[in-house]
Amino acid sequence: MNERDRTAPLPRPEKKELLRPRRVRGGVRFSNDDKGRVDGSWAAQRWTRLVEHLAPSEALVEGLEYARLGQTRRVEFVEEGVRADIQGRAHRAYKVRMRLRPFSEQEWDRVVSTMIEQAVYAAKLLSGELPTNIEDIFAPLDLHLFPLADEDFELSCSCSIEHRWCKHQVCLAWHTALKLVSDPFLIFALRGVEASDLTERLRQRRQVAGVRHGTVPVYASHVPGLTDFTDADPDPARFWDASGWDDADCPIEAPEVSHPLLRRLGSSPFEGRFPLVGLLATCYEVISEAAIQESEVASADEPE
């Protein structure tokens, strides 16, 4: 061997492709309990069912595995949609973006007007509840809030996979589904309007309607036999008699919006071992159910 052969650089060993993604410390994990929470939420279920229909089977398996392994370094829910850094086999994490086709300002104006006309929807939204039949508002306007097809999604990923719905996008879709469990109003943000902006528009429209047509409550229930009474001239001599009260029909029914007062009050400012709002909600449900059952028994005992 001559001197030149001894000084020649040795060939670099070929890099072996990793069989598994690079491990991430402190990544955002999607646990088995989270999967159960997603399966128990109607909003999250509508989201995941479509993703499972659109994405290739291999991407579905790997995407869910990435979510469970905690390969997501960062996930953000911003005005432009959902974005995340998801670590794969490469050194650098992939940049993933996801959003829905945003509604135009004119489309949102039509949606808000329809919500005001149908007060039950406005009442539930203003109290923080997303109605399960919310699509009934959008369908007559030739719109849909939740995605129905692939063209509803705007997707991007910095990986080399050319087709839509790579495993990184599927991973982000699972994190988005989990967010919909705790914050179903995220679906409005994905369509271009923050929940706070939507509720503010509803309040402003209600105020305008109240000035134009008189006060408009969030939800005006009609109780047959009670709200049909007309105002009469007050008679001080008969004030304490309460005549005619037995003829009033006052049915005991569950409210259209669950826990309306607790929703209006919001989170409790007091710290404790158990959440105060949750305890009160349970008490209200038990007491209401007992009152409804007692009312039904009393109604059944009355002679026809």
295 and 279 inside one domain: yes
DSSP for residue 145: S
135 contacts 144 by C-beta, under 8 angstroms: yes
Asked if the structure places residue 225 within a domain, the reply is: no
Residue 301, pLDDT score:
62
Asked if the structure places residue 237 within a domain, the reply is: no
33 and 61 inside one domain: yes
Strands (DSSP E) contained in the chain are 72-78, 81-86, 94-100, 153-157
Asked if the structure places residue 10 within a domain, the reply is: no
C-alpha pair distances (Å), 142 with each of 66, 100, 228, 280: 36, 16, 37, 41
Asked if the structure places residue 6 within a domain, the reply is: no
DSSP calls for 148-191: -SGGGEEEEESSS--SSS-HHHHHHHHHHHHHHHH-TTHHHHHT
Of 159, 207, 173, the residue nearest 49 (C-alpha): 173
For the chain, the domain total comes to 3
98 contacts 153 by C-beta, under 8 angstroms: yes
Residue 281, pLDDT score:
76
How crowded is residue 59: how many other Cβ atoms within 10 Å of its Cβ? 22
Averaged in consecutive runs of 10 residues, what is the pLDDT profile of the chain (304 residues)? Answer: 59 63 90 91 95 95 95 91 94 94 94 89 88 94 96 94 94 96 94 91 78 50 53 66 65 71 66 67 81 74 59
Return the sign of the alpha-carbon dihedral for residues 282, 288, 294, 297.
negative
Residue 16, pLDDT score:
58
37 and 151 inside one domain: yes
Give the H/E segment covering residue 133: none
Query: Which residue range forms the structural domain that includes residue 282?
Result: 248-301
Tokens of 277: 């709002």
224 contacts 249 by C-beta, under 8 angstroms: yes
64 and 180 inside one domain: yes
Residue 145, pLDDT score:
96
Residue 207, pLDDT score:
74
**CA–CA gap between residue 97 and residue 85 (Å, rounded):** 9
Asked if the structure places residue 76 within a domain, the reply is: yes
Of 278, 258, 259, the residue nearest 267 (C-alpha): 278
